[in-house]
Copies of this chain bind each other. A is one copy, B any other.
Amino acid sequence: MLEPGDEAVGRWVRERGAPAVVRRLRSAGQPLPGVSGKRWAGLRSRAERGDPHRDLAVAREAGVRFVCPGTAEWPRQLDDLGDARPLGLWVRGPADLRMWALRSVAVVGARACTPYGAHMAATLSAGLAERGWVVVSGGAYGIDGAAHRGALGSGGATVAVLACGVDRPYPRGHTGLITRIAEQGLVIGELPPGDHPTQSRFIVRNRVIAGLTRGTVVVEAAHRSGSLVTVRAARRLGRHTMGVPGPATSGLSAGVHELLRQDAVLVTDAAEVVELVGGMGELAPERRGPVLPRDLLEPAARRVLAALPGRGAASPDEVARGAQTTPDDAVARLYELRALGYVERHGDGWKLTRQAVIPAER
């Protein structure tokens, strides 16, 4: 109902609360302080056209939920965006957004990528997924699509952040891919059901990708590419920024090389990405205890945890059978349990971490 990323509106909502701002916009009242009459008229006309109740009804019908700041599923790292924080996110898919985003990396890049770029995005994302990391991207052609497919292909977790309504796959050619992501991962966005993407919405969307993740990897990007917006946003937010090198003769690597000449870190495989974003926890996972006691886990997650063997690894299919659920749901829960320190992914299998085993054996 309001355009995403509007910091003035974000400030009013923070200061006055969303209901008060909506009431003021819909009344014939005075403009809020510091807003020109023209701008106020524009905001009012948008507010009048908006119909949140209809949006929520359409969303529910399409299996889409609305996640607000302050609720259990809200990824709190998005609060780092300040007044540019999304007013909420529309979410489609079986996983818990907050849990998944805790251990996520953005893999982004050019739409018109080269075969080399597509190969690197897919390989990197498959490797990240194999190490239990969630791959976040924008669902676009080129690098984004290769990243999502790489993660899905290795049975991993992936999140597509769209610049349009999440019930409306964009681009059209990615309808199948985005549907698959919604089944096996998450499709999220700030725009209500039915909304179209625009050029400025793509740019504004990029801050969500940057803010949600621990770091952003750019695989291929020309000078002045939109992917560089995501990396700059990540840098401003204190997230890790990374780039995959390519031939110096390739215009599609020129933007990446520019970043690497600044402060981005050169990465050539998933291990190097995880080394950076994983921090201490990744290098020495045995030193950290689980964050949450088992009793506080949701019943579905507890069933999946119980389905894991005391020793060795199990495939998602085996876990799904043991927990009496679908493999997609099992994978979603396994990634949540991973974020909580209970399980680790090893290649195709999942196993209990040492901390998860020891209390159970005592």
Contacts and interface: CB of A to CB of B under 8 A. Distances in A.
Interface of A: 116, 119-120, 244-249, 253-254, 257, 260-261, 265-269, 272
Chain A residues touching B, majority SS: mixed
Contact of A245 (B116, B119, B246, B272): B246
Contacts of A267: 261
Contacts of A265: 261
Contacts of A247: 116, 245-247
A253 B272 CA distance: 16
Contact of A266 (B249, B260, B269): B260
B244 A246 contact: no
Which 3 A-B pairs have CB atoms at the shortest separation, nearest pair first? A245-B245, A248-B268, A260-B266
A124 B45 CA distance: 58
Contacts of A268: 248, 254, 257
Contact of A248 (B248, B249, B254, B269): B269
Contacts of A119: 249
8 contacts: A116-B247, A119-B249, A245-B248, A245-B260, A247-B247, A260-B260, A260-B266, A261-B267
Contact of A244 (B244, B248, B269): B248
Contacts of A244: 248
Contacts of A261: 265-267, 272
Contacts of A266: 245, 257, 260-261, 266
Nearest to A124: B248
Chain B CB count within 10 A is highest, among A119, A249, A254, A268, for A268
Given A247-B247, A261-B267, 6 more contacts: A119-B249, A244-B248, A245-B248, A245-B257, A245-B260, A246-B248
A119 to B, nearest CB: 7
